[in-house]
Amino acid sequence: MPKKLSEDIKKEIESLVKEINYHNYRYYVLDSPVITDEQYDKLYRRLVELEEMSGYVLPDSPTGRVGAPPLEKFAKVRHSMPMLSLDNAFNYDELREFDRRIKRLLGAAEEIEYTVEPKYDGLAIELTYAGGLLDRASTRGDGYEGEDVTRNIKTIRAAPLKIEPDECPGVIDIRGEVYMELEEFRKLNRHREDEGLPAFANPRNAAAGSVRQLDPAVTAKRKLYLACYGAGVSEGVDFGSQSDFIGWLKRKLFPTPAVFETASGIESAIDAVKRIEQMRDGFGFETDGAVIKVNDFGLQRKLGSKTREPRWAIAYKFQAHVATTRIVDIQGSVGRTGVITPFAVFEPVRIGGVTVSKSTLHNWDEIKRKDIKIGDTVVVERAGDVIPHVLMVVREKRTGRERDFPIPRHCPACGSNVVREEGEVAVKCIALGCPAQVREKIIHFASRNGMDIEGLGEKNVELLHSRGLIKGFEDIYRLRKEDFLALPRFAEKSASNMINAIERSKTATLARFLYSIGIIHVGEYAAKQLARNFAVLEDLYNVTPERIMAIKQMGEKIANAVAAFFSDKKNMETLETLKLLGLKIQNPDFTARKKKLPLEGITFVITGTLPRPRKEVEDMIEALGGRASSSVSAGTGYLVAGENPGSKLAKARQLGVKTITYGELEKMLREGQGSPTLF
């Protein structure tokens, strides 16, 4: 590479890193972006392109936030200064006693200046910067020793990777709290329940669980935030007070507490606490109190610490939003993926100004763990002041008339049999016609990778379902042109186009059809494997798990799911109805199984732009027995790098995955089509 060009690239990379980090600060800390997502993505893609071209990656590059290879375990870290916990106060008189104690220890008669800030309910963390760069991040642990979670903390975009050089200490420990906002917490729990995973009890547990993932890629997928409020060791920079320190953090683009006030005297501090408590329900995060600190660092040093708490700070705990009520019933609700979630129906009770009458119980393992029965008196909390949550059963109130709520054998929405896989907490309905799942199932059925019914997307499915025109897959093929003409947004041409698209979809391959009907655990690859091993759809009727497991790369979960689906009477009736309505299923994949496929067992991942549509290339790979995946792992056979490859290229290099060009893939495909012994 010419020297001048190399210098130009270096300068452009340095400029892009600085610009993108600034925009991350605007978006994730100030919540005030000044560019669009599209403009941000353009800058980010350009940085990735230049880094991969030149190999020049700055230590504070935002591309380093995407995660890293999984760890086997977390290393232990000794804190340079102990991370102490705080003493608690539960009423204002205890705060006044705290103030009297401070004055007595200092021998002071004048009013003490305090700072007041919200107490974040998250995971305490310490960020250690050396020479301005984030060197290590560790959890609080027992206060003296924590765990090294550096790679996970780097995925949090609000955490600065670098402190700008002016006023930059040699080494400084910045302390704060990693937390999850309430909306993200709710989304994460909905997703986990749909996947049959146990829900997190509260945002604090969700944040802690996310930071303590051995695979940083999992942490990167969860939206975590950071609030910085304290310092440990500091070399080269002296702070006179807590307010000076918070001002320095803001200048260095660190996220700081949402509210920060100084107060002269304890009564002014109590007024600030009251204001924070009034704002509590408006915060997007969970807070369980307010923290009061002596502002002057010189006075803090004089006051010192007890064994586990500093004498110069105290946490005022807000009154918990809890109440006691009785469970009058336990019922099951069916989610969009068929997962049945138990929920409790209470005698209505007011908690924190809101009347609560229901609460999710998450799953049957949770019911068993807490020993919850219908008729029990329970303590209910509004977790995050939003979500009702059963904390515990008041067993002393039991009368002997309480009764268990067993795992249902039939779906509460449609009456079909349910399945619960061994080792799984989720109970699922697998019926095609389940009304609780029907809209999502139809959307999936009609999708591009399913039956590819052009125009039958989410909005039109919602419209048809709301008018009672479709209640299951089979109803799609009963629709008439007149049905569409009676709907808003449809005219003669658009109605004709819809009918033509539905008619075209009546001829489908077995692989596409098996994917479209939404069998649990059966994605495009598994559907293709089934099609290669079963000549016609009817060969799958009443199939045994053992027959499925005999197919290479088909595990027990897929086998049990397929066997359960094709032994369900209602599912068989739906499939037969579809055939009567004119659905014709062809299976060109089965003939291919007469010979060994050349790419069988090899996984390909594509990154960057290819000369032809990616889906078309993936179909060609799978036609020769290969598997097209969206993520790089140690099991990936080849990474196909097109123009402007993304971060997958760097991950492939880290894992030692072989990288090939599109031309090399094309050669493989040509040879594979003519030779069954490519490898």
pLDDT digits (tens, 9 = 90+) for 322-354: 889 999 999 988 876 788 889 999 999 888 667
- Over residues 531-554, the pLDDT tens digits come to 988 999 999 998 888 888 878 677
Set 4, 18, 103, 119: catalytic member: 119
Percentage with pLDDT > 90 across the chain: 37
pLDDT > 90? residue 430: no
Task: Report domain 87-317's class.
Answer: alpha beta
Among 12-16, 271-275, 535-539, the range with the most confident prediction by mean pLDDT is 271-275
Q: Does domain 438-592 have CATH number 1.10.150.20?
A: yes
Paired tokens of 368: 């068993």
Q: Which stretches of 455-495 are assigned E, i.e. beta strand? A: none
- Over residues 95-150, the pLDDT tens digits come to 999 999 999 999 988 999 999 999 998 999 999 999 889 999 999 988 889 999 99
CATH number among 1.10.10.10, 1.10.287.130, 1.10.287.610, 1.20.1250.20, domain 3-66: 1.10.287.610
The confidence score (pLDDT) of residue 35 equals: 80
The confidence score (pLDDT) of residue 586 equals: 92
The confidence score (pLDDT) of residue 196 equals: 64
Among 1-15, 191-205, 645-659, the range with the most confident prediction by mean pLDDT is 645-659
Taking residues 291-299, report their average pLDDT: 96
CA distances 355 to 164, 345, 385, 509, Å, are: 50, 13, 12, 53
The confidence score (pLDDT) of residue 11 equals: 87
Taking residues 591-619, report their average pLDDT: 77
The confidence score (pLDDT) of residue 66 equals: 62
Helix residue ranges, H only, 135-290: 150-153, 182-194, 203-211, 216-221, 242-251, 266-279
d(CA 53, CA 540): 50
Confidence of residue 477 (pLDDT cuts 50, 70, 90): very high
Confidence of residue 677 (pLDDT cuts 50, 70, 90): very low
The confidence score (pLDDT) of residue 501 equals: 94
pLDDT > 60? residue 411: yes
Confidence of residue 41 (pLDDT cuts 50, 70, 90): confident
Confidence of residue 2 (pLDDT cuts 50, 70, 90): very low
pLDDT > 60? residue 650: yes
CA distances 330 to 327, 404, 414, 453, 639, Å, are: 7, 9, 18, 40, 50
- Cα separation of the two ends of the chain: 36
**pLDDT-wise least confident of 20-24, 585-589, 675-679:** 675-679
CATH architecture, range 603-674: 3-Layer(aba) Sandwich (3.40)
Residues 6+ apart with CB under 8 A from 603: 626, 627, 628, 629, 635, 636, 637, 638
Percentage with pLDDT > 70 across the chain: 92
**In terms of Cα–Cα distance, which of 120, 123, 85 is closest to 207?**
123
Residue 322, beta-bridge partner list: 381
pLDDT > 70? residue 69: no
pLDDT > 70? residue 675: no
Confidence of residue 679 (pLDDT cuts 50, 70, 90): very low
Mean model confidence pLDDT for the chain: 86
Domain ranges of the chain: 3-66, 87-317, 322-397, 438-592, 603-674
Paired tokens of 82: 């102990």
- Over residues 249-268, the pLDDT tens digits come to 999 999 999 999 999 999 99
Is 103 considered catalytic here? no
Element (H, E) at 483: helix 481-485
Q: Does domain 322-397 have CATH number 2.40.50.140?
A: yes
- Over residues 372-404, the pLDDT tens digits come to 999 999 988 875 545 688 888 999 999 999 999
- pTM passes above 0.85: no
